Structures are given as C-alpha cells and as structure tokens.
Amino acid sequence: MTSSRVATNVAAPRRLRARRRKVPWISSVIAVVFCVVWIFPVYWMVNTAFKPRSEMLSSTPHFFPEVPTFDNFVTAFTGGDFLLFFRNSAIVVVGAVVLSILLGLFASAALSRFRFRGRRTILVLILIVQMLPTTALLIPQFLIFNQLNLLGTYWGLIFAYVASVLPFSVWVMRGFFTAIPMEIDEAARIDGANTWQVLTKVLFPLVMPGIIASSVFAFITSWNDYIIAYTFMKDQSGYTLPVWLNSFTQVVGGDLSTDYGGQMAAATLFSLPVVVFFMIIQRNLVSGMSAGAVKG
C-alpha cells in the first residue's frame, strides 16, 4: 500500500507537467490557424495583383502566379488618377489625425486633471457617442454639413472623421492622464510652472503612448473610410482612395465589368501606407492600447 501511494504521488506531478506542456502547444496551433485564416485574403489579394488575366479567370486556382506581371500595377497607377486620389486621402487623413489628437488631448486633460460641474455627464455622453455606429450619424451629419456649405470640401470630410474618432481618442488618452499622480502637477507648480507649462512640458510627454495609439486609430479609420467620403464629396475629383477602388467596376453594355487585376493591384497600393505606418509604431500601439484600456 505504501509503495502504491508513493508511486501515485510521484505520477501526479508528472501528469500535471505533461498537461502544462500540452496547453501552450494547443494554444500555438490555434493561434497559427487563426493567423492563416486571417492573412489568406490579404495573400490572395497580393497574389492576384501579380497574375495575368488568364490566370485570374482560370477555374483552377493558382496559389502562385506562373508568370508574374506588373501590368496590373501599371494600370492602377497610370490609368485611374492614383496620385490625385492619394493626395485627397493624404490631405484629409493628416487633417483628421492632427485635429482629433489636439482636441482629444486637451479634452482628456480637462476631464482628468480638473474638477468641474457636469464632468461625469460629459464622460457618459462621450461613451454613448462612441457606442453609436457611424452610419447612424451619417444622415444628421449630412444635413448639418449641407446647411454649413461643407459638403464637397476637404474641411467637411475632416470634421466628419474627427467626429468619428474623437470619442475614442478622448477615452483612451484620459486613461493615461488619470494614471499620472497629481503630485507631479503640484511639484511642477511649486517650481513655478503655470497651467499651460504643466500641460505642455510635464503631462503631454508622459501621455505620448496614448497619443500614438489614438493617432493610429484615427489614421486607420480615416484612411479606410468609404461611405462618408462617397456621400459627402460631390465632385469625383475630391474622392479618396477607397472610393477610387470602385472605379475598376464599370457598366459595359448593361453588364458589370470588373478589372480584377487592376483592382487588386490598386488595393495592394492602397494598403501599403497603413502597413508601413503600423510597422513603424507597432510597439507603441500595443503598449498604448493596453495601458489606456486598463487604467482610468
């Protein structure tokens, strides 16, 4: 009996260690399968961009182009005013990111560092606005911007994007401000700093990860938007890149005709700025999102 108990006590930790070794392996397999499923459409888009039309329309799928070609990229770059729409997207996105970060920075600082009447009500309203889908606000925004003569202008599109991303920016950056001890403000004031100096020289550098996280969200939201740009811009010369992607589908003789190669090449060119931007600030984005979500 004693020997059997000893054997059982020795075997139990071994089984526990074996289970612990299996769990990371299973988690890794699940993560790999998820990544493959997620990345496959992106891979197929890039793969199709390098295929000639005969391979794209073949009933047998080709996972690698037999004869890679750059003709689709030439068509996308030269045949559809790519530079014009890229300029429109760059102007609108840069304006939306800068304006949303500035407004969100001062708003989050006021909501976290100062005590005033109605502060909690404002926070609740910001959270409610963040929960609303963008399409639900599209018609009211359209009517208001029409009265203000902002439709068909860069400023109208910039203000629409700022309205979409500002609640998220305020909520994220507020988490960073509330994580900073109030003693830092008091120490700066004792050293002779006024309110503006405390904000710009002490607090703003400390919330830089939150600024980066918010700017990335604003950039991706503004860069990828289709419905707001298509609705608010009256003239096709003011369209952005997401709307430009739709130009590769045209009605010919009553039927829809799509240049799949050119469209996939255009989508690849459209995705490159986001990928490059994300790779540059990847670490700051992860730390900023996690810190802003936990604290505050």
Are residues 43 and 137 located together in one domain of the fold? no
Enter the tokens of residue 5: 């108990």
Q: What is the mean pLDDT of residues 275-283?
A: 73
Of 200, 220, 224, 216, nearest to 287 (Cα)? 216
* Segments forming the whole domain that contains residue 45: 2-49
Between 218 and 283, where is the model more confident? 218
Of 53-57, 167-171, 218-222, minimum mean pLDDT range: 53-57
Same domain for 90 and 163?
yes
C-alpha 273/C-alpha 268 separation (Å) is 10
Whether residues 118 and 182 fall in one domain: yes
- Exposure class string for 145-172: b at 16+ Cβ within 10 A, else e: beeeebbebeebbbbbbbbbbbbbbbbb
Mapping DSSP onto H, E and C, the string for 179-207 reads HCCHHHHHHHHHCCCCHHHHHHHHHHHHC
Contact 137, 174 (CB under 8 A): no
Count of CB atoms within 10 A of residue 97's CB? Answer: 24
What is the chain's mean pLDDT, rounded?
79
Q: For the chain, what's the residue count?
A: 296
| Residue 60 within any structural domain of the chain | no
Q: Which pLDDT does position 290 carry in this prediction?
A: 45
114 and 234, same domain (yes or no): yes
Residues 41 and 86 in one domain: no
What's the CA angle centered on 177, arms 173 and 180, to 5 degrees? 145
Q: In this predicted structure, what is the pLDDT of residue 91?
A: 93
Tell which residue, 183, 173, 179, 159, has the closest CA to residue 123.
173
186 and 40 co-located in one domain: no
CA distance 151 to 147: 9
Per residue in 251-263, pLDDT (tens digit) is 555 666 777 788 8
pLDDT confidence of residue 273: 81
| pLDDT computed for residue 98 by the predictor | 93
| pLDDT, position 101 | 92
Region 115-128: mean pLDDT is 82
Q: Tell me 63's DSSP state.
A: S
| Radius of gyration over every alpha carbon of the chain, rounded to an integer in angstroms | 26
On whether residue 211 sits in a domain, the answer given is: yes
166: helix, coil or strand?
A: helix
- On whether both 43 and 95 belong to a single domain, the answer is no
pLDDT of residue 253: 58
**Mean pLDDT of the 183-187 span:** 83
* Nearby residues of 241 by Cβ (< 8 Å), 6 or more positions away: 85, 86, 88, 89, 223, 270
Count of domains forming the chain: 2
Place 199 in a pLDDT band, splitting at 50, 70 and 90.
Answer: confident
What stretches of 245-281 show up as alpha helix (H) in DSSP?
A: 260-280
- Same domain, residue pair 214 and 281: yes
Q: Is residue 248 part of a domain?
A: yes
- pLDDT category of residue 13 using cuts at 50, 70 and 90: low
Same domain membership, residue 131 and residue 27? no
> Domain with 180 in it: what CATH number?
1.10.3720.10
pLDDT level of residue 81 (50, 70, 90 thresholds): confident
127 and 263 inside one domain: yes
Look up residue 200 and give its two tokens.
Answer: 């710009």
pLDDT band of residue 8 (cuts 50, 70, 90) is: very low
**pLDDT tens digit string along 16-31?**
555 555 557 787 888 8
Quote the pLDDT of residue 279: 76
CB 127 within 8 A of CB 184: no
pLDDT over threshold 80, residue 51: yes
What 3-state DSSP class applies to 266? helix
* Residues 24 and 115 grouped into a single domain: no
The residue-averaged pLDDT of 232-252 equals 80
Task: Answer whether 166's CB lies under 8 Å from 97's CB.
Answer: no
Q: Fill in the amino acid letter for 244.
A: W
> Is pLDDT at 1 greater than 50 in this prediction?
no
User: Could you tell me if 216 and 106 lie in one domain?
Assistant: yes
